[in-house]
């Protein structure tokens, strides 16, 4: 790790980052490079506690830019998944409409169009391994916090406590930190996805495994979509998306902890689709329903003196390929503001960061909302446009 640099604003201050996802871990790395005292409080019992999900692509002007600023580009190169950035699009009968596997590409690191994919777990490990020992405090699910004499007292479900001069909420769309910053609530986009995890697709749904071919697969039919991505451990993650009423998850009567019930629903909902997709559903043992919510694009709050938010905790938006990249860019901006001695105090630094963060989130959030209906409930026309976009 590089030698610590001058950090007047953070001198003798303890920083608590709540949430050990890509945003929180990136922020910890960047702040430690500047010599800051940081702890990351993560609810998981360990870094092996659960599958982190499918692959994520990092972009030239955001995720990759931050990885380089964190001094981790070579480590990233050693862990990313070459070729996984390709896309294959099929129709409901599993006929291939577009296939980037057949397209020559010379894109590589340094090319603004190159978006290398990495397994989320591998990215997390790259970031964790770059931190000082014991930076991440596992089994730390936050249950409450209060400000006492300008110091935050954090209480965790495990019974442990912690003190911090500055708290950063990097704890995602269900953030417990957010309520201490703003009371602005999330809105429903109109779309919901059912996420599924398949641990042994090569054995349990071999035809689908072959169709995915270690890349991004998207299958579209009128009013519904299935997206499938590989995981670094050989598994698959899929997302079955469509438009649903806002309270559908609570009113549909499906027990999502019962794979057979979810399978029966999906078979009926995707009736008329290729049997390959039915094998995908049947191979799945873990389903999670996810309503796609978002925070209002014009959200604003008065900056607090020693607490702020990054990533989904700050600017939740429907999936658009920008989530992890934006969280990492938030981390870079916040780290630079907090270690900039030109600001008179921490609150001024946070004010400058939040202005940058909100301006960026408005643009990306609008793009995500504009595209969510075409993704979750495509028409024949929107499918044609998407095919043309990739060809």
Is 115 in a helix, a strand, or coil? coil
End-to-end CA distance of the chain: 44
Strands 236-243, 307-309: pairing is: unpaired
Name the residue among 220, 228, 153 with its Cα closest to residue 198. 228
The burial class, CB within 10 Å (0-12 / 13-18 / 19+), for 23 is buried
Rounded-to-integer distance, Cα 287 and Cα 238, Å: 10
Rounded-to-integer distance, Cα 319 and Cα 334, Å: 23
Rounded-to-integer distance, Cα 172 and Cα 174, Å: 6
Residue stretches of the annotated binding site for NADPH: 50
Residue stretches of the annotated binding site for FAD: 57, 120, 312
Residue stretches of the annotated binding site: 50, 57, 120, 312
Rounded-to-integer distance, Cα 80 and Cα 251, Å: 41
Name the residue among 319, 379, 353 with its Cα closest to residue 168. 353
């Amino acid at each position: 790790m590089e030698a610590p640099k001058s950090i007047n604003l953070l001198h003798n201050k303890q920083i608590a980052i709540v949430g050990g996802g890509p945003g929180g871990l990136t922020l910890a790395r960047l702040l430690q490079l500047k010599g800051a005292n940081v702890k990351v409080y993560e609810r998981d019992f360990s870094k092996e506690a659960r599958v982190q999900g499918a692959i994520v692509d990092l972009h030239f002007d955001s995720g990759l830019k931050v990885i380089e600023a964190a001094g981790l580009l070579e480590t990233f190169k050693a862990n990313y998944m070459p070729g996984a950035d390709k896309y294959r699009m099929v129709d409901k009968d599993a006929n291939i409409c577009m296939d980037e596997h057949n397209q020559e590409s010379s894109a590589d690191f340094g090319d603004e169009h190159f978006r290398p994919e990495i397994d989320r777990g591998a990215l997390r490990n790259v970031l964790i391994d770059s931190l000082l020992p014991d930076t991440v405090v596992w089994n730390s699910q936050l249950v409450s916090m209060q400000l006492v004499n300008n110091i935050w007292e954090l209480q965790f479900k495990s019974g442990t406590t912690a003190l911090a001069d500055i708290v950063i909420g990097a704890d995602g769309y269900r953030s417990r930190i957010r309520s201490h910053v703003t009371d602005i609530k999330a809105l429903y986009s109109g779309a919901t996805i059912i996420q599924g995890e398949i641990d042994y697709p090569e054995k349990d749904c071999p035809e689908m495994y072959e169709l995915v071919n270690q890349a991004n697969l998207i299958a579209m039919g009128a009013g519904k979509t299935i997206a499938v991505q590989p995981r670094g451990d050989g598994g698959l993650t899929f997302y079955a998306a469509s438009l649903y009423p806002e309270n559908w998850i609570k009113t549909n009567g499906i027990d999502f902890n019962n794979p057979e019930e979810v399978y029966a629903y999906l078979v009926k909902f995707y009736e008329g689709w290729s049997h390959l997709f039915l094998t995908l559903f049947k191979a799945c043992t873990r389903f999670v329903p996810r309503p796609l919510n978002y925070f209002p694009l014009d959200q604003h709050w008065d900056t607090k003196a020693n607490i702020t938010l990054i990533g989904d905790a700050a600017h939740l938006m429907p999936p658009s390929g920008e989530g992890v990249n934006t969280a990492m860019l938030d981390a870079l901006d916040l780290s630079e503001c907090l270690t900039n001695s030109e600001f008179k105090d921490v609150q001024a630094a946070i004010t400058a960061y939040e202005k940058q963060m909100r301006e960026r989130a408005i643009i990306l959030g609008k793009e995500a909302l504009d595209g969510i209906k075409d993704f979750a409930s495509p028409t024949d026309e929107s499918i044609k446009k998407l095919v043309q976009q990739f060809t």
